[in-house]
């Protein structure tokens, strides 16, 4: 079996025992994805009703079923590599009486282009777990329509530093028993490391639900972390026209992302504000002279995100986009 296949199998085996975000159909506070798409609608003239939406890596389906329940006139396909996760997703579909979503077992790394073309592609918190994220993104772009849009959520390298240290502590203690998740969970609790960042900071109602969060956060079989330079390299090989960082997460908080010092905020949503960080006229004047990529890097270093929501656009999608915030933060790859 090839190396990549071994990694995929390890991830599949992990989620078979510990479905994420929950093994239960009764979990709350999984509206991050819905909130993201509603904010996108508020800022853009693009409406998400009557769209075809592909969710690549639905997990146990909690987030995407909330989205399908809200955008009832859109059609959804959700895929995952884990049969166990998909079984929970299908139960949620039945409980919520949804007729506009279908769940299928697929591996992002091969075969997804047979699913057709979509207006919107979502891959939230999944690409960084693939054996080859660059190839994974290339595969996903093949499912986009000519004016298609893709949303990604990627783990942040700078803000994920402490989590990675904790993960390494557990890994060293486990030694040759690294695949023993039950023992790993006990060690995490012994060391009081079950304190969760954004994405895992859910209102779990049972030990079993918390176990799934511990495994995904601190015992995961495979993950890559990114900073803005890594994101740029990833998208340069994506075949897309370009990308923009839509938002970042810092600790347990989320922020809309903006490099500008223009105060044209129309929503009461937390947003990056470089003026608050640089403070003096001198530092701000030097900031204004920077090119966009240097501004991105500076905000990266100051805010230290533990996660990034990124929007990738085709040329046709970019030309149709009315969202001023995305356009002024947009990095062209071609």
Residue range 60-88: mean pLDDT, rounded = 97
Q: Is the dihedral of CA 12, 169, 2, 232 positive or negative?
A: positive
Q: What is the pTM of this model?
A: 0.95
The residues, ordered by sequence, that sit 6+ positions from 87 with a Cβ below 8 Å of its Cβ are none
Query: CA 77 to CA 101: how far, in whole Å?
Result: 6
Q: What DSSP string runs through 111-177? A: SGGGG--EEEEEEES-GGGSS-HHHHHHHHHTTEEEEEEEEEEEEBTTTTHHHHHHHHHHHHHHGGG
Task: Please enumerate in sequence order all residues whose Cβ is within 8 A of that of 168, keeping only pairs 6 or more positions apart, or say none.
Answer: none
The DSSP letter of residue 243 is E
Q: Look at residue 1 in the predicted model and tell me its pLDDT.
A: 34
Average pLDDT, the chain: 94
pLDDT band at 199 (very low <50, low <70, confident <90, very high): confident
Average pLDDT over residues 241-255: 96
**At 198, is the pLDDT very low, low, confident or very high (cuts 50, 70, 90)?**
confident
Q: What is the pLDDT of residue 150?
A: 98
pLDDT in tens, 295-321: 999 999 999 999 999 999 999 999 999
Cβ contacts of 175 within 8 Å, gap of 6 or more: none
Reported as a single tens digit per residue, the pLDDT across 180-191 is: 999 999 999 999
- The domain spans of the chain are 3-157+223-254+304-332, 161-218
Residue pair 60/19 in contact (Cβ under 8 Å)? The answer is yes
Structure confidence by residue, pLDDT tens digits, 94-141: 999 999 999 999 999 988 999 999 999 999 999 999 999 999 999 999
Angstrom distance (rounded) from CA 329 to CA 150: 16
Which whole-number Å values give the CA distances from 240 to 39, 207, 230, 260, in the listed order? 23, 42, 16, 24
3-state SS assignment for residue 22: coil
The pLDDT-based confidence of 204 (bands split at 50, 70, 90) is confident
Question: What's the confidence (pLDDT) of residue 2?
Answer: 41
The radius of gyration of the chain's CA atoms, rounded to the nearest angstrom, is 20
The architecture (CATH level 2) of 3-157+223-254+304-332 comes to 3-Layer(aba) Sandwich (3.40)
Dist. CA 46–CA 175, nearest whole Å: 51
- Model confidence band, residue 154 (pLDDT cutoffs 50, 70, 90): very high
Contacts of 53 (CB under 8 A, 6+ apart): 67, 71, 74, 75, 76, 77, 118, 119, 120, 121, 122
Distance CA 288, CA 310 (A): 23
CA-to-CA separations, 14 to 59, 162, 325, in angstroms, rounded: 12, 23, 39
Other Cβ atoms less than 10 A from the Cβ of 265: the count is 13
Alpha carbons 104 and 81: distance in angstroms, whole number: 9
Q: 28-50, pLDDT tens digit by residue?
A: 668 999 999 999 999 998 899 99
The better pLDDT of the pair 265, 148 is held by 148
The pLDDT, as a whole number, for residue 265 is 60
The whole-angstrom separation of Cα 270 and Cα 99 is: 35
Written as six digits, the tokens of 6 are 């071994």
- Whole-number pLDDT of residue 18: 96
The pLDDT of residue 3 is: 45
């Amino acid at each position: 079996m090839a190396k990549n296949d071994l990694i995929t199998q390890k991830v599949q085996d992990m989620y078979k025992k510990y479905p994420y975000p929950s093994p239960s159909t009764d979990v709350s506070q999984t509206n991050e994805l819905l909130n993201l798409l509603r904010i996108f609608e508020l800022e853009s003239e693009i409406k998400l009703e009557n769209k075809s939406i592909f969710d690549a890596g639905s997990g146990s389906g909690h987030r995407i079923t909330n989205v399908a329940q809200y955008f009832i006139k859109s059609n959804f396909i959700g895929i995952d590599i884990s049969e166990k996760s998909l079984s929970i997703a299908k139960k949620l579909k039945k409980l919520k009486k949804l007729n506009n979503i279908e769940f299928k077992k697929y591996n992002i790394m091969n075969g997804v282009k047979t699913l057709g073309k979509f207006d919107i592609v979502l891959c939230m918190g999944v690409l960084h777990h693939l054996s080859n994220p660059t190839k994974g993104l290339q595969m996903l772009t093949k499912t986009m329509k000519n004016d298609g849009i893709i949303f990604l959520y990627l783990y942040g390298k700078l803000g994920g530093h402490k989590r990675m240290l904790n993960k390494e502590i557990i890994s060293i203690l486990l030694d040759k028993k690294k695949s023993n998740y039950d023992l790993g969970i006990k060690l995490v609790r012994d060391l009081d490391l079950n304190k969760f960042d954004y994405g895992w900071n859910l209102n779990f109602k049972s030990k079993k639900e918390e176990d799934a969060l511990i495994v995904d956060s601190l015992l995961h079989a495979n993950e890559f972390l990114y900073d803005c330079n890594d994101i740029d390299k990833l998208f340069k090989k994506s075949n897309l026209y370009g990308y923009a960082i839509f938002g970042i997460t810092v600790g347990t908080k989320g922020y809309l992302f903006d490099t500008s010092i223009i105060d044209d905020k129309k929503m009461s949503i937390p947003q990056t504000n470089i003026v608050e960080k640089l403070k003096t006229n001198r530092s701000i004047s030097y900031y204004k002279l920077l090119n966009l990529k240097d501004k991105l890097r500076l905000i990266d270093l100051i805010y230290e995100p533990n996660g990034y929501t990124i929007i990738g656009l085709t040329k046709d999608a970019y030309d149709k986009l009315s969202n001023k915030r995305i356009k002024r933060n947009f990095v062209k790859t071609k």
